[in-house]
Every structure is written in structure tokens, then in C-alpha cells.
Amino acid sequence: MSGNELAEQRALPRLRDRIERALGPAGVFFRGFLENPRMVGAIVPSSSFTVKAMLAPVDWANTRLFVEYGPGVGTFCQPVLDRLPRDGDLLVIDTNPMFIDYLRKTFTDSRFHAVLGSAEDVEEIVRSIGHEKADYILSGMPFSTLPEGVGPAIAAATARIIRKGGAFLTYQYTGSARDLSSRHFPRVTSSYVLANLPPCVLAWGWQD
């Protein structure tokens, strides 16, 4: 390897770090998208309109464990923590170590738990932090682009771990997550948010 090539390899991480610091969370999110677009599914985080609409049906007074799959840079984390009771917990699960590392540094609330792992293992992860069931589980993962069989496995595990009266909350840019929820939950309601880039489909799979 030539000296110029070595210098370029060393310069790229420094440049990337400077860009991330300049752009803040959006820069981290964009890097995550570039590294694994099939798992992130969007170039920019969700809008405040999406966050508000997605969380509106949650019964916060009776929520002890709120789970999020694929939290990215934590767009939903602070809004959830702001609504969560003082004795509640927020568990986020992501397969991207960069996102988990960022979240652990960003959110110091004792109710916050960031786990590097797969949503397929949600039942084991939930019990590992002292809960038997989750009240609500939120996901923005692009189910339509996940490897074959992974989406149905996640949906099945999610249905098993959510308590009666709880719900699986999904937001996507297609109806795939909503359709998948309808196979595992007895009642699914849905809506749309146009003030998002791109516009997205919201769905709530209720465990009646």
C-alpha cells in the first residue's frame, strides 16, 4: 500500500466523524442508512407529526414497558420517556452497534435500556430486564426488505410478548407491516401521515 493510499484510509474516518458532528443525529442516521439501507429504510428520521400520531393511542398511565425495534438515533426515545410513568421502562433493540453506542451516550435516564440484538429475540430480552410482558412495541423497521422469514418471526414473537390490551405500533412507507400485523393480531387500525419524508403508513395491531 502506498503512502497516499494509507493517508486516504486514515483521512476518511476523520472526515466522516467531522460530518457526523456537524450534522448531529441526522448525520449518524444518514451514515446508518448508507451502511445498511435494508435495515434502516429511510434517509432521514421521522417527522414530529409521525411521532405524535404514532404515540397518540398509547395508554401511558398503564404502561410499564415500552419497547422499540430499530430506534436509529432515538427520534422516538425522548417523546416516549416524556410520557412514560416514573416506574416504567423503555427498551430499545437494534442490530446496529453504532446506533446502540450513540443512544447509550445520549440517553442517561435510568428507565432507558439499549440492547444490541435482534427483535426476533424480544421475548428473551424483555425478561432479561425484569419484565414478563411488554405493553407496547414500536417498530419502524422496513419489513418489506428484511431477509426472508425474519419479518414473520419478529411479528410472531411480538404478538406473544405483548400483554392483553397492548399493541404493536408500526410506521412504514408501504403497507407491509400493517398487513403482517393483521396475521398475528385480532384487530388492526391504521392511518397515514403525509407530513413525513416520505409519507408513511401507521398501524396499530391490538392484542384485544
pLDDT digit string, tens, across residues 35-49: 555 444 454 567 899
Identify the three-state secondary structure at position 68.
Answer: strand
pLDDT confidence of residue 26: 52
Q: In 3D, which of 166, 182, 184 has the Cα closest to residue 126?
A: 166
Q: Which residue has the cell 451502511?
A: 35
Domains in the chain, start-ordered, CATH in brackets? 37-206 (3.40.50.150)
The band of 155, judged by pLDDT with boundaries at 50, 70 and 90, is very high
Q: In 3D, which of 185, 160, 30 has the Cα closest to residue 170?
A: 185
Identify the three-state secondary structure at position 103.
Answer: helix
pLDDT confidence of residue 187: 97
Q: In 3D, which of 135, 140, 149 has the Cα closest to residue 206?
A: 135
Name which residue leads in pLDDT, 166 or 3: 166
Answer for the pair 100, 115: CB distance below 8 angstroms, yes or no: yes
